[in-house]
Structure 1
């Protein structure tokens, strides 16, 4: 059974991420973001959202170290922002802060994480902070009228990020995001990547 560990960045929806993964038949565990990487055994890692800003000292705990574990990583909200900063992108405060329904336009129908979603997908997202510059080797895979980078991927490294929360009921096709990430993890395991 595929095992995906959720790293808790102290967000209010972290437990829902664990539940969403269990609901699709994934073995999962939630660990704090200070957990040493050598104590994590996983086929994939989800970096949860959280209240911090990605440019604050210690934001995301040891999330930067989890990016180098050789397994696929999905960053959600703060998780995506930490991923972007650690890989050379840039995050800034968004002009639109609180949680709201947002329509995301999927840019890349071939993307293994979000490509299967409807071309225009309603999601639940906060834009207190957002990625404003992609890291090198990443592609934008989704955008909206309030945020130019709603999702991103580096498929060569199996690193993915979404600004929105696929784990909440307000997000359309949220389960598909987790199923697609599971498929990425399974392919990586088969290939020994």
Structure 2
């Protein structure tokens, strides 16, 4: 059975990420972001870096990116990925949560099967402004040029939006795709 660890960065929807994964038949544990990385990875096939209020409160989240494990960063997790690999993260112009129409630029990895556009629930208080070297921008919107990205050679993905909430179209597909990637 595939095991996914959800790293809790204090986001209000983190419990929904765990539930979405369990509903796919995955063994899933929501883990505090201060937990020792080696302990978490002893059994995990993949890691989800959850959303949260601040990169200053991300605990050990960036350390998972130094390991050979598939990673899906959601909102703050997406920003942690960008920051750790040398991208640029700044305050967004549009602030809080809103429905956003996202254009899929690269129908692969966690975004496979979503179609050309999806309506998502996203916060843009902070956002990735520049994709790090070694990454490809995979989605954009009128609100944010880097709604999603993926590493060119490693199974590391980030989405600005929240696939775990019912407001997001295709959220379950993103989690299914990630489980398939982590199961390899």
TM-score by length of 1: 0.92
Are the aligned partners of 2:47 and 2:71 in contact in 1 as well (CA < 8 Å)? Answer: yes
Q: List runs of 5+ in structure 1 lacking aligned partners.
A: 188-193
Are the aligned partners of 1:37 and 1:69 in contact in 2 as well (CA < 8 Å)? Answer: no
Are the aligned partners of 2:11 and 2:50 in contact in 1 as well (CA < 8 Å)? Answer: yes
Partner of 2:144: 147
Higher strand fraction: Structure 1 or Structure 2?
2
Over 3 Å counting, the alpha-carbon distance change for 1:164 and 1:114 in structure 2 is same
Partner of 1:43: 45
For the residue of structure 2 that corresponds to 1:19, the secondary structure is helix
Are the aligned partners of 1:73 and 1:159 in contact in 2 as well (CA < 8 Å)? Answer: yes
Task: Return the offset for 1:98.
Answer: 1.0
Task: Return the offset for 1:66.
Answer: 1.1
For the residue of structure 2 that corresponds to 1:96, the secondary structure is strand
Alignment of 1:170 with 2:172, yes or no, is no
TM-score by length of 2: 0.97
Partner of 1:87: 85
- How many residues are matched? 182
Task: Return the offset for 1:4.
Answer: 0.4
Cα separation, 1, equivalents of 2:38 and 2:126: 30
Cα separation, 2, equivalents of 1:115 and 1:93: 28
Task: Return the offset for 1:175.
Answer: 0.2
Partner of 2:116: 119
- Considering only aligned residues, what root-mean-square deviation do their CA atoms show, in Å? 0.9
